[in-house]
Amino acid sequence: PGAVNIDVKNPNFEEEIQKLDIKKNYFIYCKSGVRAKLATEKMQEKGFKNAKNFKDGMSTYKGTVTK
């Protein structure tokens, strides 16, 4: 609940992440982890110190998912 969907492949990705609070914690995920890794790297380049990639993506996640 409360997740924000920002597509790393969208040309406006960097503009969209600039709207976020750089000091908050962010857990970045996608299905396999590849796009999340790219998004995390871009966010960290912009100064997000608390952006973490959800390793291996949702395809390996065993927990409960709320949509």
The pLDDT mean for the chain works out to: 93
- The answer to whether the beta carbons of residues 57 and 33 sit under 8 Å apart is yes
What residues have CB less than 8 Å from 28, skipping those under 6 apart?
Answer: 36, 39, 40, 43, 51, 52, 53, 54
How far apart CA 15 and CA 12 sit, in angstroms, is: 5
pLDDT of 61 reads 86
pLDDT in tens, 30-61: 999 999 999 999 999 999 999 999 888 898 88
pLDDT of 39 reads 97
- The answer to whether the beta carbons of residues 42 and 17 sit under 8 Å apart is yes
pLDDT of 51 reads 96
- The answer to whether the beta carbons of residues 62 and 56 sit under 8 Å apart is no
